Chains A and B, each alone.
Chain A
Amino acid sequence: MGWREAWHLGDVAFGELSFQAVYAFRMGNVVPATSARALVPKAERRVTQSKVVVSIVLGLLAVGAAAFLHRGTAFSNALFGVPIPPTVLDTGVLTGVLTLDAAFLWWTGLQVIPALLSSAVLPVLEPLPIDAVTFRRAATILYLRLFDVPILTVLVVTPVALGLALGPAAGVAIFPGVVASVVFSLALSLLTGRFFVRRIQGARGGGGGSVVRWTLLLLWLLPSFAILGFVTAGTRFLFLLTDLAGGGASVARDLLYVAYPVPFALLSGVAAHGTAGAGLDPGAAIAVGAAVVGYLALTGWAGVWLYGEIRELGHLPVAPTAPGPLTSHRLRPQSAPRAVLTKDLRIASRTPGYAFLLLLPILDAVALGLLTVVDAPQAAAARSLALGTVTAAALLATFFGPAFFAIEVLGYSYGRTLPMRDRSVVLGKTALIALIYLVASVIVLVLASIRVFEPLLFAAFVAAELPAVVAGAFVEMGWLFRRARTSGLPVANLYSGGWIAFLIAIPGLFVAGAPLLVYHFIGLPGMALVALAELAVFAPFALGGSE
């Protein structure tokens, strides 16, 4: 059998994967009371929509960066207030683009791989008389189809946009870097996905297991940290690059120039504007050249490794840690909303996609809190930054709200057979969102207090916003439950269900954000009043009339 047969097999497997990712029948979801014939195209449409959403983000990133660089140093001078040589500016911005491309694709892979494994599409093919080469090709095609539109967007839009903005040479020069970013992200997704299955999903419960799992999960946040880092510290990176480029030969400069993906970005910058101002003395140029060659070799090796290892996805065992002695059968039942909250935290501790959602607002708070301590020049600025970070925590926690409902898809049907009110689930999920907001807020305010000690103001701000966060969560959960009850369709994983989750998050964000908008006009009391009014309006929507 050849590539043609492999494509056919991969196509069939991808259809099934889309179906399972959306409807999760293998996880126990029940068939919606509609024609089963309509479900398959609907599932494929949902997955395509999600790919398009990811691709739009990646495309906008490339086009936005190209448009920014097209305006060049005049724009950057006006924006940053300091002159930055064009090559250095290109290098800094394109480093950000390549990093974000890789991080975003890696993050997408982390979301998708658990769905790929739980759908069991490859094990279904295992017993069939398919030769090893064809099977591997089919598995590769299946894996690539998870990312196809986003990958094509990165590979095509980035060089083309850059070519149009900075000239064809810059567009061509960025292409190796784009390829490297794509291959690295796909390989990292597989590598970390395997690690997840073996070390986290299969980890025992009880004892200190949850501490170990949460610690390991922090490793999974590296890609999101890369995203976060560039969003929050991109300007500082640009200034650092400018300083090192203009500061003559130094070990720090050379180390930065060979760190991935800087050499690829530098290549494109040099192709567009030459070496002026880039600090590329012969030694640095050789180092950059060697780094490019080295990374391209690593890209080739990663591609070969990926092709060789991808077959394992067909029979990846969930390998539990060595069975240990049972210490106790003790059960500690909790009230229904607390039971839902505890269950979600436990599921998140073995499901990196959800752990990410819990930890991102908290890590964002840590990063920005530290920035406040280090960077804010005056107490007033530190205060504004701290309150802004609390605002970000509130909005992030609310934005990811719909995803916490998605946890219900795991065993959703069984949950519906239990004597549990929808209200209990809504309260459990809302408590989770409020908890994330409070933990993130407390962290940032404790850090900010090192700089500016105003505990009463900070506590009042957090407390005034809390009802709005709860109201925003109520809007999202109330809507999701109505939708789930009418269509029988839970929002599945974030990739396949991202489109709906995104739509439902928008009104939640408006509700959570409204008091923050009025804060500057009518102060804390007004903010608290608006938040409480929202809570009074939306609590009945989510909690009333549910069985």
Chain B
Amino acid sequence: MAAELLPDDATPLRIDGLTVQYGERRAVSALSVTVRPGEIYGLLGSNGAGKSSTIKAVVGLVRPVGGRVRVFGRDTVTDSLRTKAEIGYVPETSMLYDALTPREFLEFVAGVRRLDPATATARAQTYATAFRLDSEFEEPIVSLSNGTRQKVLLIAAFLHAPRLLVLDEPLNGLDPRSVRIVKDLLRRYVVEGGRGVLFSTHTMEVAQELCHRVGILDGGVLQGEGTVPELRSRIARGDASLEEIFLRLTREDEGLPDAVALLGER
């Protein structure tokens, strides 16, 4: 179904004309993106393209200067508590209470999200066992590796079975086993209940493998959006990989051979 025909309250995420600004610097410009039910939407972009700013605006960490963000029809600014209750979020950097243990941190998150003890415990046990986090469950987060901290954040994001997952580089630092688990989990996650996933990554292979549609950001502006075949047709190359599409649409392929050659000379 086309995005514009979907009822608002069934649409996991609708971003209309989003503009984010830090002082004089505009990070995101009039961005419009829709994550449909059952969809994993990949947000791609170079460093500083505006991916994280977009995600921060969605989860309420940054207040947009223009546009609207709606989660299942609810505005993230005027109805922020309800939209936050619908979202499971994994930040780009591991923003955690370092002095707590994973159990204490999850207990805090479960309390704020008003989960009952049995549900919270069952889900924590399932995910902790799947991610092999048991031996670190009572260790302070400050002593954990980056990958393990990322696992804690992933469990916290899944703990309340949210209808929208907002994941900013969620595979950073994860071991291959955990990467595989997350990918499988996401594929199965969006099958039921009209759920959606907004997924930001630098890794083109992951996006190509996992995402139903991708949006390519450059300088805070959406340069292209669609399925990989749709984007291939846009650059008129039927065999192009997502990486080639990305480089072409962001014009980052310009001067690329020269840069590689220059490095070779050094």
Q: Do A and B associate with each other?
A: yes
Chain A residues at the B interface, C-beta cutoff of 8 Å: 26-28, 30-31, 33-38, 118, 201-206, 209, 318-320, 323-324, 326, 329-336, 338-339, 342-343, 346-347, 349-351, 410-411, 413-414, 416-421, 424, 547
Within the complex, what minimum Cβ distance (angstroms) separates A462 from chain B? 29
Contacts of B94 in A (CB 8 A): 28
Known: A36-B22, A333-B111. A411 touches B135 (CB 8 A): no
Q: How far is the CA of A332 from the CA of B115 in the complex (A)?
A: 9
Within the complex, what minimum Cβ distance (angstroms) separates B173 from chain A? 15
Q: Is the CB of A336 within 8 A of B111?
A: yes
Q: Is the CB of A201 within 8 A of B107?
A: no
Q: How far is the CA of A15 from the CA of B224 in the complex (A)?
A: 41
Q: Is the CB of B59 within 8 A of A417?
A: yes
Q: Is the CB of A418 within 8 A of B91?
A: no
Name A339's closest neighbour in chain B (CB-CB).
Answer: B111
Q: Is the CB of B80 within 8 A of A547?
A: yes
Our pick among B60, B89, B98, B104 for the contact of A27 (Cβ within 8 Å) is: B98
Q: Is the CB of B134 within 8 A of A205?
A: no
Our pick among B115, B128, B136 for the contact of A333 (Cβ within 8 Å) is: B115
Name B115's closest neighbour in chain A (CB-CB).
Answer: A333
28 contacts between A and B (CB under 8 A): A202-B142, A204-B140, A209-B138, A318-B142, A318-B143, A326-B134, A329-B124, A330-B117, A331-B106, A331-B117, A331-B124, A332-B117, A333-B117, A334-B111, A339-B111, A339-B112, A343-B100, A350-B99, A410-B99, A414-B91, A414-B95, A417-B87, A417-B91, A419-B82, A419-B112, A419-B113, A420-B81, A547-B81
Contacts of A333 in B (CB 8 A): 107, 110-111, 113-117, 120
Count of B interface residues, CB-CB < 8 Å:
56
Known: A339-B111, A343-B104. A201 touches B142 (CB 8 A): yes
Q: How far is the CA of A489 from the CA of B134 in the complex (A)?
A: 36
B203 within 8 A of A: no
B121 within 8 A of A: yes
Given A202-B142, A332-B117, A349-B99, 13 more pairs with CB closer than 8 A: A28-B95, A30-B61, A323-B135, A326-B134, A331-B103, A331-B115, A333-B110, A342-B107, A351-B99, A417-B91, A419-B81, A419-B113, A424-B112
Name A324's closest neighbour in chain B (CB-CB).
Answer: B138
Q: Is the CB of B138 within 8 A of A418?
A: no
Contacts of B56 in A (CB 8 A): 30
Contacts of A418 in B (CB 8 A): 84, 109, 112-113
Q: Is the CB of A342 within 8 A of B108?
A: yes
Known: A28-B91, A323-B139, A329-B121. A346 touches B82 (CB 8 A): no
Q: Is the CB of A347 within 8 A of B100?
A: yes
Within the complex, what minimum Cβ distance (angstroms) separates B159 from chain A? 9
Q: How far is the CA of A38 from the CA of B24 in the complex (A)?
A: 12
The 8 closest A-B pairs by CB, nearest first: A28-B95, A339-B111, A35-B23, A205-B101, A333-B110, A329-B125, A419-B84, A333-B111
Q: Is the CB of B137 within 8 A of A326?
A: yes
Which of A118, A319, A411, A416 has the most B CB atoms < 10 Å from its CB? A411
Known: A203-B140, A318-B140. A347 touches B62 (CB 8 A): no
Q: Is the CB of A204 within 8 A of B138?
A: yes
B146 within 8 A of A: no
Q: How far is the CA of A413 from the CA of B136 in the complex (A)?
A: 24
Q: Is the CB of B140 within 8 A of A28?
A: no
Map CB proximity to A onto B39-57 as digits: 1 under 8 Å, 0 otherwise: 0000000000000000010
Our pick among B60, B101, B138 for the contact of A416 (Cβ within 8 Å) is: B60
Which of B60, B80, B99, B135 has the most A CB atoms < 10 Å from its CB? B99
Map CB proximity to A onto B123-154 as digits: 1 under 8 Å, 0 otherwise: 01100100000111111101100000000000
Contacts of A338 in B (CB 8 A): 111
Q: Is the CB of A416 within 8 A of B104?
A: no
Q: Is the CB of A335 within 8 A of B111?
A: yes
Our pick among B62, B107, B109 for the contact of A332 (Cβ within 8 Å) is: B107
B178 within 8 A of A: no
Within the complex, what minimum Cβ distance (angstroms) separates B229 from chain A? 34
Which B191-238 residues have a C-beta within 8 angstroms of A?
none
Our pick among A320, A343, A411 for the contact of B140 (Cβ within 8 Å) is: A320
Chain B residues at the A interface, C-beta cutoff of 8 Å: 21-25, 56, 59-63, 80-82, 84-85, 87, 89, 91, 93-101, 103-104, 106-117, 120-121, 124-125, 128, 134-140, 142-143
Within the complex, what minimum Cβ distance (angstroms) separates B158 from chain A? 14
Within the complex, what minimum Cβ distance (angstroms) separates A404 from chain B? 14
Within the complex, what minimum Cβ distance (angstroms) separates B72 from chain A? 14
Name A26's closest neighbour in chain B (CB-CB).
Answer: B93
Q: How far is the CA of A375 from the CA of B223 in the complex (A)?
A: 79
Contacts of B136 in A (CB 8 A): 323
Our pick among A33, A347, A417, A547 for the contact of B97 (Cβ within 8 Å) is: A347
Q: Is the CB of A205 within 8 A of B104?
A: yes
Within the complex, what minimum Cβ distance (angstroms) separates B55 from chain A? 10
Contacts of A201 in B (CB 8 A): 99, 140, 142-143
Our pick among A329, A417, A419 for the contact of B61 (Cβ within 8 Å) is: A417
Q: Is the CB of A350 within 8 A of B23?
A: no
Contacts of A323 in B (CB 8 A): 135-136, 139
Name A204's closest neighbour in chain B (CB-CB).
Answer: B138
Q: How far is the CA of A336 from the CA of B108 in the complex (A)?
A: 8
Which of A30, A329, A424 has the most B CB atoms < 10 Å from its CB? A329
Q: How far is the CA of A416 from the CA of B60 in the complex (A)?
A: 7
Q: How far is the CA of A330 from the CA of B119 in the complex (A)?
A: 10
Contacts of A351 in B (CB 8 A): 99
Within the complex, what minimum Cβ distance (angstroms) separates A321 from chain B? 9
Q: Is the CB of A331 within 8 A of B110?
A: yes
Q: How far is the CA of A23 from the CA of B84 in the complex (A)?
A: 24
Our pick among A326, A346, A411 for the contact of B95 (Cβ within 8 Å) is: A411
Q: Is the CB of B103 within 8 A of A205?
A: yes
Name A350's closest neighbour in chain B (CB-CB).
Answer: B99
Name A203's closest neighbour in chain B (CB-CB).
Answer: B140
Q: How far is the CA of A318 from the CA of B23 in the complex (A)?
A: 37
Name B24's closest neighbour in chain A (CB-CB).
Answer: A35
Q: How far is the CA of A522 from the CA of B163 in the complex (A)?
A: 59
Which of A27, A410, A417, A420 has the most B CB atoms < 10 Å from its CB? A417
Name B136's closest neighbour in chain A (CB-CB).
Answer: A323
Within the complex, what minimum Cβ distance (angstroms) separates A160 from chain B? 42
Our pick among A27, A346, A419 for the contact of B100 (Cβ within 8 Å) is: A346
Q: Is the CB of B22 within 8 A of A33?
A: yes
Q: How far is the CA of A418 from the CA of B91 in the complex (A)?
A: 12
Q: How far is the CA of A34 from the CA of B65 in the complex (A)?
A: 13
Q: How far is the CA of A256 from the CA of B70 in the complex (A)?
A: 72
Q: How far is the CA of A206 from the CA of B143 in the complex (A)?
A: 16
